[in-house]
């Protein structure tokens, strides 16, 4: 039984090229492209923006309204006049200046120490060899998954036991460690080229000099991101300062709003409360506007390796 052999083509006959499939694309302004762009891009963006922006806009507009314009059956979006009486009442009813000073001290000191500890810890986890380094990093990851409310009672017992109740350092001390900042900076430090650090080591630079002369300058976006997240967290922290302080002399701004609410508990106090809330968020919005250009760069640096 003979096997069939394939028939070889005649070399004298030129091969006819097969036609390539033509890819048809929709026009940029076609109906299909417009629907996909609006439904998949602009519509979710508009919805997300409105969800975030409308409550803030309503709060700012309500801070200029009188009580009759807020508590009414007829919805009034815009205030009748830009009356600053609510702001004057909010700043004189409670010691707003003291609250602002306390929040500034707590935020600056707490955020500075947190960022410094995050830089030092992340550098040690990447560039310093010591026993149980991976185990320590795993414990930091575990700390990221533990809700901060779990540690409130132990922290209160500890801080109150050492005399930290109604003190600013009692507010600052329990939150000096930042697992998120350490994790983010460690992931970024892993992407740094080893050749630069090895060259500095050959030149006689120690860890301290390599950290502040090489690692920190080329990691400014990531460090700024950690600083921004830390500043916002410290400024807006409410639960722990509310528990550890009960005197106006050591209250921060978020806790001061609770004191303002207690003094303005009637229906006429909604405009005053909205004015107080505006005074609380304006400083942090200014900080966010100044540092927001570093956020995307800082969060994506650790995800790109070369």
Lowest mean pLDDT segment, chosen from 22-36, 60-74, 251-265: 22-36
Sign of the Cα pseudo-torsion (153, 231, 128, 138, in order): positive
Task: Please list the helix, strand and coil fractions of the chain in percent, rounded to the nearest 5, in that order.
Answer: 70, 0, 30
Q: 48-92, pLDDT tens digit by residue?
A: 888 888 888 888 888 888 877 777 767 777 887 777 888 888 888
Residue 305 pLDDT > 50, yes or no?
A: no
Q: How confident is the model at residue 28 (pLDDT cuts 50, 70, 90)?
A: low
Sign of the Cα pseudo-torsion (216, 182, 157, 244, in order): positive
Residue 262 pLDDT > 80, yes or no?
A: no
Domain segments of the chain: what residues? 31-62, 94-301
Residue 109 pLDDT > 90, yes or no?
A: yes
Give the mean pLDDT of 23-34.
63
Residue 200 pLDDT > 60, yes or no?
A: yes
Q: Higher pLDDT residue, 17 or 81?
A: 81
Look at the domain 94-301 and name its fold: MetI-like fold (1.10.3720)
């Amino acid at each position: 039984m003979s096997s069939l052999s394939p028939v070889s083509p005649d070399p004298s006959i030129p091969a006819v090229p097969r036609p390539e499939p033509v890819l048809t694309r929709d026009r940029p302004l076609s109906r299909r492209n417009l629907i996909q762009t609006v439904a998949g891009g602009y519509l979710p963006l508009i919805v997300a923006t409105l969800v975030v922006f409308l409550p803030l806009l309503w709060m700012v507009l309500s801070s200029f309204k009188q009580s009759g314009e807020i508590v009414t059956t007829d919805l009034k979006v815009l205030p009748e006049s830009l009356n600053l009486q609510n702001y004057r009442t909010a700043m004189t009813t409670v010691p707003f200046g003291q609250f602002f000073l306390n929040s500034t001290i707590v935020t600056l000191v707490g955020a500075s120490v947190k960022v410094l500890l995050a830089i030092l810890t992340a550098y040690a986890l990447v560039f310093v060899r010591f026993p149980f380094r991976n185990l320590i990093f795993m414990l930091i990851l575990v700390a990221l998954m533990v809700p901060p409310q779990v540690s409130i009672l132990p922290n209160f017992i500890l801080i109150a036991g050492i005399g930290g109740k109604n003190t600013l350092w009692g507010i600052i001390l329990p939150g000096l460690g930042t697992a998120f900042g350490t994790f983010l900076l460690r992931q970024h430090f892993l992407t740094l080229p080893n050749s630069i650090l090895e060259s500095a080591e050959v030149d006689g630079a120690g860890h301290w000099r390599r950290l502040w002369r090489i690692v920190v300058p080329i990691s400014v976006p990531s460090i700024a991101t950690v600083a921004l997240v830390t500043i916002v967290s410290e400024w807006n922290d409410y639960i722990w300062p509310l528990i550890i302080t009960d005197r106006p002399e050591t209250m921060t701004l978020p806790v001061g709003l609770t004191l303002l609410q207690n003094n303005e508990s009637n229906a006429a106090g909604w405009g005053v409360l909205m004015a107080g809330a505006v005074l609380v968020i304006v400083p942090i919005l200014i900080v966010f506007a100044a540092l927001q250009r570093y956020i995307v760069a800082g969060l994506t640096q650790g995800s790109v390796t070369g």
